[in-house]
Structure 1
Amino acid sequence: MAGVHVSTSQSSSSSSTAASYSSSFIYMDLPVIKSKLSLTKLLGLNAIVCGIEFCGSAAFCFIPPMLLKAGISEQYMSMVLGVGPLMGIFLVPIIGRSSDKCTSQFGRRRPYILLLSIVLLFSLFILLTAKYIGTVIVGGGEVGRFTTILFLVIGSVFLDFTCQVCLTPCEALLSDLSKDTDQHGKCFTVYSFMISFGGCVGYLITALDWSGSYVGTYFGTQENCIFITLIIMYIISMFLTFNTAKEIPLRDILKINSEKMSISSMKPADLGYVSDEPANEDSNHADSLEFNVTISVPFTKWSTINLTNLKQHIISTSYSMLPTVLKRLFNIPYVLRQLALANFCSWTAVMIFNLFYTDYIGQSIYKGDPNAPEDSELRNWYDEGVRMGSWGLLWHCILSAIYSTFIDRIASNLNLQKTYLIGMASFTVSLFIMLFANDIWLANICATCTGFGYATLTTVPYLLLTAYHDNSDVYFCDTHNGCIVPYRGIGADLSILDSAYFLSQVMLTGFMGYIVQHCGSVLAYIVCSSFMGLLSLFCIFNIVYEPNQMTKFLKNSKRVVK
């Protein structure tokens, strides 16, 4: 197995680089004296992250059954659940780059968090009232049924979209507030803990029987109780975060630093902003783009195989046909390409497990059938398997929350790459053992151990990215013929990682159903998850975690260009 990384080289003159600096700008983090963040403040900053995961984990336990009850087939339901991540692939980079340049008096990140939070609350309200609107306001019948389905689909798509996209400005906010404080590790450790804790609370809320309680009697149904609880809890978490986060507006930062520095003697990068895009991106980049495919096999002497005989006009034509958003994904530093590839493979493995584990338990371990008639023996066995599988996911979240508190300490004793490897290796080994498990207890023990991988995946990539930005002169100076690859803000680069997460979900909704149908067994879920986990390990070997690795990469790049 080999890790494949595609490097791009772009030749242009130093004068064109200077021109690109003056064309358009992204405002970056400027040196402002900051104080240490206490644990109380870190918990307050991450309260909204806990609320987002709380809403996501709880709501999506009920959304698939609600869609099926409304009359949507499983095929169309999968398509509905894939629309939100698909929107995220295209909109998250735009949101990330826009937040880097935001000059609002409320800061750069909070306006976007507020806007996305309003959409999230609105989608919860739509899901809460969809059936009432269709049956009472519209009047039932076919029109009422169509209205109910329409509102359920709209609510599901926007809830899925905002629950994931809202994390990007939240991550950027943490990076901004912890900059120059040496607290990146602590910030994202708390971030990972709050995500896992929110998932635990969400699963517990859905496991409770609300129908026999006073609250259930007052609000009518289990779904109503859940969604009203989600709305209230999210508003509280949003208030805590906005009350804790004290962002300095970008224009104030520029004003403070302009008083301290002689702007006329500074380079564009010293001012805190550099080119958003190279000048004449379509023409210059496409004309000079040269693909060098490098195949690396860990622990062997076979290091590189260069494919340099590709037709230039084919590359230029293919690149010019890409949408602007996708072009920007190619125009990123080498370290981000490697990290995004590892992130994509890791998230694909984890999401296959999270989405389909209970279905696997119900059909493979308990031998049930989800398509069997209601109250039949096969259907009851399937429902029992889903319920028992949910306990495995709950313990998965609990272990993830516990382990996330130790990741910063482990990374300081080892390094970020080894920490990443340990987390995903434990996930992959657990999945391989699960392939041979015929007992629910062994399967749930393996499911619990996958929490190591989930905690790692919600922490280490962000620690690596913040480390890259702290030493940007080294990690982001991919030089090709003396030109510097354009540097972007932390929000734009976080969106690259989150886009890899969205892409993994889009691929799952598009291909996993076909793979299982072709194989004829839900065991394919675990096989695919373990395979992607193994692939992620090879990708992790190629990520950059030390400055001296960039020196070796630059030497190899110059050798390839020659």
Structure 2
Amino acid sequence: MHILLHKQYEHARLQSCNYSHLFRPKTRWEFVRLTMIIVSIQFTYAAETAFVSPILLSIGLPHTFMTMIWAISPTLGFFLAPLVASLSDQLRVSWGRRRPVLLVLSITLMLGLVILPHGRTIGLWFGDEDVSPQNMSGFRWGILITTLGLVMADFSVETTNGLSRTYFLDMCIKEDHPTVLTVAVMIGGIGGFIGYMLGAIDWTNTNLGEMMGSNEATVFGAVVIIVLIGTTTTLTSFREVPLGLLENDELLRPITKAAFEEEKRRQMNLTRVSSVMSMDSETAERAQVCPEECNQQPLNFKSFLTNLIRLPKALRILYFTQFLSHLGYLSYCLYFTDFVGREIFEGDALAHEGSQSMKLYHEGVRFGCLGMAIFVLSAAIYSMAIEKVIRLSSIRSVYIGGLLLNCIGMMLIAVYKSKLMVFICCITMGIEYATIYSLPFLLISQYHQKQSFNMIDGRCVQSTQTRGFGADISILSSMLFLAQIIISLSIGSVIDAYGSTTIVVYSASLFSCLAAFSATQIIYMDL
């Protein structure tokens, strides 16, 4: 393997544009630069989960309609995100395949973040009446504009989250895949921690808050700046090989298991067949890196749809487990600050501005932000140790254990509503988050590296189906969209029927338990 990498490294270094970084290990600083876009993604998540529900409630929406609005962007994402990823597999521009798509998504994200906290104000410019939420009725521009901002931001950030990880894996050799995914979760956790801490501050009493007009506008303004910095850093870290060059030059393609086996056979033949030594060197090099039978052409749209329908069993199980995991994660994160404000601090989001109930609610929302800061910090810390934990046990036990631990944490806060339990359940959710945003991506990378989606008698069975790596990663990410659709369309009615937001943490516990059971059926290869 090292011989192959060295040959590809030297060949890539001599190109008109140096692509040698694709065939060498990365330094820690290079991993950080490559994954900086995750910081901006986590800042966006922090702002959305902390403030979007209160923003929607403040413009007069009941829980049922508020949660339905949350369903719009994941519905679009579930159908469009895999198509965006398939497009990135086939894009033919000199800047590469992933980076142009990530750039467009980031611009859309920033526009959505600018619109979202100012929807009510923009609605007033269009003729909405300036009345309290209890007195709002009829069509309101503020609701439409706020929804537009939410859809733009939420769709873009979720699609970017999956596609960016494809870009990370494209830029790294196989041995670096666990590390780059770990670093992504780690620095994303740090970014999310800072983002939630920004949300925990009462900005209305500061000069900046007075200038921006509200807590929400201040935090979202900061997030726009972070998105700009994070996106620029990632997209300028490493250049991609254009698809046309990748198709015409086998030495610039990733090493597959078939290519590695071909090299082993060639090395054995060198000792037996002297005629091999007379082979044209350039032809020999190209044959040994990626032989004719293992060339992977990009999927066209028809092939993409076929592969979407004909999923291997290994991927079906992995996707279903990720779907259940996200049901638990979203039950928690989308409504947690509202849960803390209502159930733990006993506040009311619909109370009159300035009333004690409203003050308690906002205090609870800020405390919930502090808890979610602990959540992402614990995810970052655990992500730094997850590789060592896997080496001490196995990826199977780490995967299942992380999900079961969160099941217990969520059940504890549902039963014992206290400030202490806020921190405990946020720590267990951080462990689950680090698990579901690293191990499933690592498993798909392993499936594609081995060109296998099944094992018989402990041996990998080679797959004859051509699958797009970016598309498979995107389908995995789309499980978040599907889960958000289900949660958004159902949880509001469930909350109204149950009469308490405690149901959201009960749901998080139940789905984490089901995900742990599903994870027992995953094919882990030899990891």
Whether TM exceeds 0.5 here: the answer is: yes
1:147 shift after superposition: 3.6
Counterpart residue number, 1:534: 513
Residue identity matched to 1:256: D
1:516 equivalent among 495, 504, 519: 495
1:455 aligns to 2:434 (yes or no): yes
| TM-score of the superposed pair, with normalisation by structure 2 | 0.80
Q: What's the Cα RMSD here?
A: 3.2
Conserved? CA contact 1:476–1:485, under 8 Å: no
* Cα distance in structure 2, aligned partners of 1:191 and 1:476: 29
Task: Structure 1: give runs of 5+ residues left out of the alignment.
Answer: 1-29, 280-323, 549-562
Conserved? CA contact 2:35–2:184, under 8 Å: yes
1:165 aligns to 2:159 (yes or no): yes
Counterpart residue number, 1:246: 239
* Cα distance in structure 2, aligned partners of 1:31 and 1:78: 48
1:231 aligns to 2:220 (yes or no): no
Look up the SS of the partner of 2:236 in the other structure. Answer: helix
1:133 shift after superposition: 4.1
1:457 shift after superposition: 1.2
1:210 equivalent among 203, 216, 241: 203
1:270 aligns to 2:294 (yes or no): yes
Flag the 1:266–1:437 CA change in 2: closer, same or farther, 3 A.
closer
* Cα distance in structure 2, aligned partners of 1:129 and 1:431: 34
Counterpart residue number, 2:56: 67
* Cα distance in structure 1, aligned partners of 2:177 and 2:154: 28
Look up the SS of the partner of 2:23 in the other structure. Answer: coil
Counterpart residue number, 1:3: none
Flag the 1:415–1:103 CA change in 2: closer, same or farther, 3 A.
farther
| TM-score of the superposed pair, with normalisation by structure 1 | 0.75
Counterpart residue number, 1:97: 86
Residue identity matched to 1:413: L
1:35 aligns to 2:24 (yes or no): yes
* Cα distance in structure 1, aligned partners of 2:120 and 2:355: 28
Deviations 1:342-372 (A, max 9, x none): 1111111121122233333344444444445
* Cα distance in structure 1, aligned partners of 2:207 and 2:363: 27
* Cα distance in structure 1, aligned partners of 2:298 and 2:213: 56
1:229 shift after superposition: 1.9
Counterpart residue number, 1:194: 187
Look up the SS of the partner of 1:487 in the other structure. Answer: coil
Trace 1:400-419 onto structure 2 (pairs within 5 A): 400-419=379-398
Counterpart residue number, 1:354: 333
Conserved? CA contact 1:54–1:199, under 8 Å: yes
1:342 equivalent among 300, 313, 321: 321
* Cα distance in structure 2, aligned partners of 1:440 and 1:33: 48
- Please say which of residues 411-420 and 235-244 is displaced more in the overlay: 411-420
Conserved? CA contact 1:79–1:509, under 8 Å: yes
1:44 aligns to 2:36 (yes or no): no
* Cα distance in structure 1, aligned partners of 2:112 and 2:157: 10
1:402 shift after superposition: 0.7
* Cα distance in structure 2, aligned partners of 1:353 and 1:472: 36
* Cα distance in structure 2, aligned partners of 1:365 and 1:105: 54
Counterpart residue number, 1:505: 484
Residue identity matched to 1:99: S
Look up the SS of the partner of 1:36 in the other structure. Answer: coil
Flag the 1:215–1:443 CA change in 2: closer, same or farther, 3 A.
closer
Flag the 1:36–1:486 CA change in 2: closer, same or farther, 3 A.
same
* Cα distance in structure 2, aligned partners of 1:384 and 1:500: 33
* Cα distance in structure 2, aligned partners of 1:130 and 1:515: 27
* Cα distance in structure 2, aligned partners of 1:145 and 1:524: 31
1:275 shift after superposition: 6.1
Conserved? CA contact 2:82–2:478, under 8 Å: yes
Flag the 1:199–1:354 CA change in 2: closer, same or farther, 3 A.
same
1:96 shift after superposition: 1.4
1:488 shift after superposition: 1.2
* Cα distance in structure 2, aligned partners of 1:74 and 1:522: 10
Conserved? CA contact 1:437–1:443, under 8 Å: no
* Cα distance in structure 2, aligned partners of 1:211 and 1:428: 37
* Cα distance in structure 2, aligned partners of 1:139 and 1:186: 53
How many residues align structurally?
Answer: 467
Counterpart residue number, 1:119: 108
Decide which structure has greater helix share. 2
Trace 1:413-428 onto structure 2 (pairs within 5 A): 413-428=392-407
- Please say which of residues 66-75 and 202-211 is displaced more in the overlay: 66-75
* Cα distance in structure 2, aligned partners of 1:38 and 1:266: 27
Deviations 1:513-555 (A, max 9, x none): 222333334332222221111111111100001269xxxxxxx
Flag the 1:214–1:466 CA change in 2: closer, same or farther, 3 A.
same
Conserved? CA contact 2:64–2:496, under 8 Å: no
Conserved? CA contact 1:135–1:145, under 8 Å: no
1:175 aligns to 2:169 (yes or no): yes
Conserved? CA contact 2:113–2:153, under 8 Å: yes
Flag the 1:466–1:148 CA change in 2: closer, same or farther, 3 A.
same
Percent identity between matched residues is 27
* Cα distance in structure 1, aligned partners of 2:481 and 2:467: 21
